[in-house]
Structure 1
């Protein structure tokens, strides 16, 4: 039986490399896609999401910020960008607040603190974990699940 996941590790030596990764992910995103983001504070989750937004053609006057306190930010673009921060929510609160409508909606959902989804974690998703490798460099670990695994080679971050 073929593996249900494809895993990639990408070295991000500069902020520009992170921006290229995000832009490529945004450009290739399809309606209903889900990207989960994990990583320590300051690892670059919001920076990556800003670049995903650029790839989705989110207008420049819609500055993408962390939804830490508002829980969800929605941005217009080629397809809508739904940026969620689930840190302060339980799985039941996520359900009660209707976040599943976004997860299975027509936009691209970018989810920080995805472990809060528990049993409602979508099967088809891209999981990205960002880790510090030095003060200025990061490593991105990408795990493509379900139908998303066919997209694993659909982008290029080389200069």
Structure 2
């Protein structure tokens, strides 16, 4: 399967490497050129046990590459993992600016996408965010209906630093 992973921070880098290791063709996307260059050189953009070797092997095998181009990645994949940051604000709430921005980009690309890709939200979100934020932005920017013309689901991450590859392979729960 062709998969794009948007956001190459902790969750995205682990997801991209492990999905490629599992045999999928993966394109990782991040606005930070340094992260993109590291992946394309076969190096991990984060320090995590076993991930450097996984990324090196998958880049060499041609199953993993990285780009800064959201539109191209989404247009050429069947499954889109959203792993962008959701930093905490000073009042303790979650800042969804990166989720909103990437959903706008995905929506605009979906408008020109011939297929019906599935969008998988892995970013940290509170209950109701999918209904109140993600779906309206995707539908407005794409002109398409969620659940009919593109798929949408939540796949929360349960990765711990230092054991993220193991946690990816052995999730504590399936939601």
With normalisation by structure 2, the TM-score equals: 0.34
Structure showing greater radius of gyration is: 2
Structure number with higher relative contact order (C-alpha < 8 Å, ≥ 6 residues apart): 1
Greater share of strand residues, 1 or 2? 1
With normalisation by structure 1, the TM-score equals: 0.37
